[in-house]
Amino acid sequence: MTCFVLDASAFFHARDMRVFAGPLYTTRQVAEELRDPMAQAALEILRVHVEEVDPKGVEELRRRFRELSAADASLLVLAAARGCVLVTDDGKLAAAARRLGIRVESVFYRRPER
């Protein structure tokens, strides 16, 4: 079963997160960014697992991808460690993930199916 790692943008832009059939994860850093009450409630309602990641891995990725925040880098560490799909609408984060071989899904800007 495919698992998904959620960026903050997934909580803000999502129409219906149930389309992601599989375990949902995010990191403590991203959970702390969620100030919107609806986004905070989504963590519990959707049973999103909030994970801690290796800080050394975060710092290593921030050195490699200087434009990323610690929260963004934490998502890459988690997605790589768990083999999950990264769910984000952040272009810089998505580009970094693809460079690392991590599959990316968009929430708000979905491409039409062919």
**Which residue segments constitute the domains of the chain, with CATH numbers given?**
4-105 (3.40.50.1010)
Average pLDDT over the chain, rounded to whole? 88
Residue range 19-49, pLDDT digits in tens: 677 899 999 999 998 988 888 888 888 889 9
- 1 three-state secondary structure: coil
Low-confidence ranges of the chain (pLDDT < 50): 111-114
Amino acid at 2: T
Cα torsion for 92, 13, 33, 67, to the nearest 10°?
Answer: 10
d(CA 81, CA 42): 23
Q: How high is the pLDDT of residue 85?
A: 96
Full-model pTM: 0.88
Amino acid at 106: S
